[in-house]
Structure 1
């Protein structure tokens, strides 16, 4: 087999935890990969950027407990590459810093398989930075060393020259040091490091549950046990640790420690919470897809000039309607003379981007608000018309999701109007299992669960299965509006956050206000 006929392997560093620290090149490699082989110590949200049709292989590597041995990982990488696939070997931190990426690269080179290395941000520099600790500083340290903290302490001869390390380097950074912290600190003191040297241990650095413990070299081991600090953690030793009192920034963010669960298809609009220090966990419980058939919408588009009003209830309905309009070799000129109504400012904005003016936007972004608006609007034009004939002779087109409320259509018919309801898109339940999310909820690592529709809530309960309601009772529940609130209340749960205006932007503002009160 010629080399050009083989696949290619990208050894990608996923960074230390904060998803924003994934490199642009790393993201590009993820998005084009046919196969992704990934470890435990990386932000699972990164996996959301992988193609839905890509193959996922979990390699494990969690605190000495490996789902696959290194030989098995090497074999899997080689097999997939030899099948001509684009393989992304996704590793936490940087692949060439205690990540065995060098060994994997050697295996590929010896097999004559193309590979590239995409460096990642290592926790050795990122965790201290997020804790407000610079590894070097003109007044305190001009050198640093990164050392593995997991060396077998029963070995007769150590690979580390403790005498030189203890006094020859300004700042010491130990990775994976919690298990052997007693031995490590004792060795450093034994070989000349001051017992009162400042030390910081940073657990889950760069994540919303980052925990930083500051002590001295002689006391840190006992305090780690006392505070029940568990792996993964980075230990920083040196006078630069004293700068934390002045430079700490991440843990001071107003929403630090909050983990917000987003159950819609994307996290657009929730970004501001990340800027405030929260971590946004994307777990979509709905997936927007084309309808099973375009027949109903096609018939409505063919008869578009017969309608008086075209009503859009969501940005998705706008996107799919105009997608089909163009596919049928029509354009916005065919909408001449038809009035446009949009529920919500986001929906209106989606329409306006296409150069179309919106005639009506109800104050309440729901069916009730739409009914009131049309009764007032049409009532002014047909002053004195009998109640049952208010919409007489009027035709409405409402392209919408496959499942939707019938309140507005029923009212239109009750008032004498004609309304067509073609399916423009459908919200389906994705094929997910909620094992990881369930663990996060059980461990109290989610603080707010958000639901932007009754469907996102219903699907969430179905995906998690038994015990979903009990898990939700442990978190604050945020809903976008009254319809979603009713679905939550019917399940016997309490809604903690609901904006006055049913938009994502208003919902995010309400979550922010709630979090600041909790702080």
Structure 2
């Protein structure tokens, strides 16, 4: 608990407007945000290849292709969720498809019939035999998306738009967890979990930090992140009903209040 009496909740968003938005949201929920960015973006300079469907899985990817002047041509543009869709639209792109579930699994469910060998109705594909899907994302994307699309019959190619690395100096939250003074965490990807533990190890408190997390409330954004956390010895308390940071923050704080 912080000196001001408000619970401390760690957030690991990149050090840009996303971490500030997280701070504002958590402040409004009556808790103290411990902003400890665990991801930094290193662009590769690559742009998506031509395909019938081009899939974007992050706001960062949308911004990078816009900065590079990429044009979709006749492709059907697919966004994993509303934040990615908003970023694409703000850059002037038309977003054709967004899944009901904002996750890799949701994208597979959305595209499976469209790229499958036997579509149920006409007009579901941009071209009669074009099942090509270009996935434009980071170097740490879930294999669920690529494997699921290939199993559905798609011709899948992946372009790595950027690499995600751990920022220098990260790990304040690991020290707090190790000291037993962190009340909750909001992990937004498997990589944030891994980088948190890397930072803890670098500070010599890995085991203590895991113990501290297991005495706190641990929220994760989806099932793949839950699987990663639990495989590393971290007990997960909250997986939000919707895979967005706002839902994660609200449901984690609600659990903490209980």
Task: Tell me if both proteins adopt one fold, taking TM over 0.5 as the criterion.
Answer: yes
Offset of residue 380 of structure 1:
11
Shift of 1:346: 0.9
- CA gap 1:477/1:379 in 2 versus in 1, 3 angstroms: same
Shift in alpha-carbon separation, 1:448–1:381, aligned structure 2, 3 A: same
1:447 paired with 2:183, answer yes
2:257 is paired with a residue whose SS is helix
CA contact (8 A) 1:392 1:417 kept: no
Verify: 1:312 aligned to 2:61, yes or no: no
How far apart in 2 are the matches of 1:265 and 1:477?
19
Q: 1:357 aligns with which of 87, 90, 94?
A: 94
Q: Deviations over 1:460-501 (max 9, x none)?
A: 111101313222222211111111111111122211122111
For the residue of structure 2 that corresponds to 1:368, the secondary structure is helix
Counterpart check, 1:456 vs 2:196? no
1:269 touches 1:505 (CA, 8 Å); kept in 2?
no
Distance 1:380 1:510, change over 3 A: farther
Q: Distance in 1 between matches of 2:121 and 2:187?
A: 43
Equivalences for residues 72-471 of structure 1 within 5 A: 208-210=2-4, 257-266=6-15, 267-270=19-22, 271-291=24-44, 294=45, 297-298=46-47, 300-301=48-49, 304=50, 307-324=51-68, 326=69, 334-378=71-115, 382-383=119-120, 392-432=129-169, 434=171, 436-465=172-201, 466-467=206-207, 468-471=209-212
Give 1:496's aligned residue.
237
Superposition TM-score, scaled by structure 2 size: 0.84
Structure 2 unmatched ranges of 5 or more: 123-127
Tell me by how many angstroms 1:261 deviates: 0.6
User: C-alpha distance in 2, partners of 1:371/1:345?
Assistant: 17
2:136, 2:62 → 1: CA distance? 8
Which structure 1 segments of 5+ residues have no match? 1-206, 211-255, 386-390
Aligned CA distance change for structure 1 residues 358 and 437 (closer, same or farther; 3 Å): closer
Query: In structure 1, what is the equivalent of residue 125 of structure 2?
Result: none
Alpha-carbon distance change, 472 to 394 in structure 1, aligned in 2, over 3 angstroms? same
- 1:392 Cα deviation from its structure 2 partner: 4.7
Q: CA RMSD in A?
A: 2.6
1:280/1:377 Cα in 2 relative to 1: closer, same or farther (>3 Å)? Answer: same
**TM-score (normalizing by structure 1):** 0.44
Decide whether aligned partners of structure 1 residues 362 and 454 sit closer, same or farther in structure 2, where only a CA change above 3 A counts.
Answer: same
Q: Secondary structure at the match of 2:177?
A: helix
Aligned match for 1:480, one of 221, 235, 258: 221
Q: Pick the structure with greater CA Rg.
A: 1
- CA 1:511/1:413 → structure 2, altered by over 3 Å: closer, same or farther? closer
The answer to whether the 8 Å contact 2:10/2:173 transfers is no
Determine the C-alpha separation between the residues in 2 that align with 1:398 and 1:337.
16
Residue 408 of structure 1 aligns to a residue in which SS?
A: helix
